[in-house]
Amino acid sequence: MLVTEQERLKSDIGTWLQRFGNDRAALIPVLQEIQKKYARVSEYGMQVLADQLGIHPVEVYSVVSFYSFLDHRPQGKFVIRLCRTISCDMQGKARVAQQLESDLGITFGETTPDGKFSLEWANCLGMCDQGPAVLVNDIIYTRVTPATVHDILETCRKTFGVYALESSHEEGHA
């Protein structure tokens, strides 16, 4: 990680800790912010956060590794989560999964080499009456079919470009 990025992360952590309170209860909210802005919780970030909260880095790692929405590995700009639970399964999850893998050229648990998409399984997304459901970052898509997978990915791709990238950095401050 570049020194400048480390400095930025450190200062962000300071800001977030001020917002969420400087105690252990702030750990998960701050981790969520880090994940959102940096698409991962880096080793350095975990150590800074541990230091600030007076806990051990391994405890932060332990928490990060526990929750599905936190990851120390770099995640794509868009994290696509397909619900794998029974109702979505019965409504054709397998074919949607197949199509997602084909369109993205990666398998579940992977990130595209350009760092734009990560593909993950999710457990019940709470859209059981209108599955299969796909969560793209915070946006939910329901009744997804193999044919509409392409549309979802295109919607994501449309947000790329210089302007889109600029604004994505600001998301964390919103």
Partner 1 sequence: MITPNHKAPLTFATIEPDVGLRAAMAKPRADLIAEITASQLKGRGGAGFPTGVKWNLAAAAQADVKYVICNADEGEPGTFKDRVILTDHADLVFEGMTIGGYAVGSKTGILYLRGEYTYLRPHLDAVLAARRKKGLLGVNVAGKQGFEFDIEIRMGSGAYICGEETALIESLEGCRGEPRNRPPFPVDTGLNGKPSIVNNVETFAWATCILVKGSAWFKAIGTQRSTGLKIFSVSGDCKLPGIYEFPMGITVNKMLEAVGGADAKAVQIGGASGHCVPASEFGRAIAFEDVSTGGSIIVFGHQRDMLAVAKNFLEFFVEESCGQCTPCRDGNPKLLEGVEMLEHGRCSMRYLNELSSLGETMQVASKCGLGQSAPNAFLSIIKHFKDEVMGRTQGAAH
Partner 2 sequence: MSDTIDTNRAPASQTGHVIPPVEDGGMIGSRVTLTIDGQEVKVPLGTTILEAAKKVGIRIPTLCAHPDLCEAGLCRICLVEVEGMRTLQASCAYPVHSPLKIHTHTRKVRQARRHIIDLMLSKHYGECYACGRNNNCELQALAKEYGVDFFRFGHPDKPLFAKDESSHSVIRDMNKCVLCRRCVRTCIDLQEVGVLEAIGRGDQTRIETFMDKPLADVVCINCGQCINRCPTGALRANDPTDEVWAAIDDPKKHVVIQTAPAPRAAIGECFGLEPGNPLTFELNTAMRLCGFDKVFDTNFTADLTIFEEGAELLMRLQDALKTKKGPVFLPQFTSCSPGWVKYLEHFYPEYIPNLSSAKSPQQMFGAVIKTYYAQLNGLDPKDIVTVALMPCSAKKFECNRPEMVDSGFKDVDYGLTTRELAKMIQEAGIDLPNMAKSDFDSPFGSATGSGVIFGTTGGVMEAALRTVIELVVGIKVENLFDHADIIPLRGMDGVKYVELTIPSVGEVPAILKPLFESWDFLKGVTVKVAVAHGTANAHKVMEDLKNGGPLSQCHFIEFMGCPGGCIGGGGQPIPTSQAIREARSKAIYAEDSAYPIRKSHENPAVLELYGKFLTEGPCSHKSHKLLHTHYTPRGKYIAE
161 dihedral zone (left: phi>0; alpha: psi -120 to 50; beta): left
Give the range of 7-15, 44-52, 98-106, 141-149 binding partner 2 by CB under 8 A. Answer: 44-52
The verdict on 48 binding partner 1 (CB under 8 A) reads no
Specify whether the CB–CB gap between 96 and 135 falls below 8 A.
Answer: no
* Cα–Cα dist 125/134, whole Å: 8
Residue 163's Cα: distance from chain center in Å?
Answer: 21
The verdict on 56 binding partner 2 (CB under 8 A) reads yes
The verdict on 163 binding partner 2 (CB under 8 A) reads no
> 50 vs 30, 62, 63, 101, CA distance in Å?
11, 11, 11, 37
The verdict on 27 binding partner 1 (CB under 8 A) reads yes
Give the range of 39-47, 90-98, 112-120, 159-167 binding partner 2 by CB under 8 A. Answer: 39-47
Give the range of 27-35, 58-66, 107-115, 145-153 binding partner 2 by CB under 8 A. Answer: 58-66
> 77 vs 20, 43, 169, CA distance in Å?
25, 19, 11
The residues binding partner 1 (CB under 8 A) are 23-29, 31-32, 53, 62-63, 66-70, 84-87, 89-90, 122-131, 135, 138-143
Binding residues vs partner 2 (CB under 8 A): 1, 42-44, 46-47, 51, 54-59, 61-62, 65-66, 72
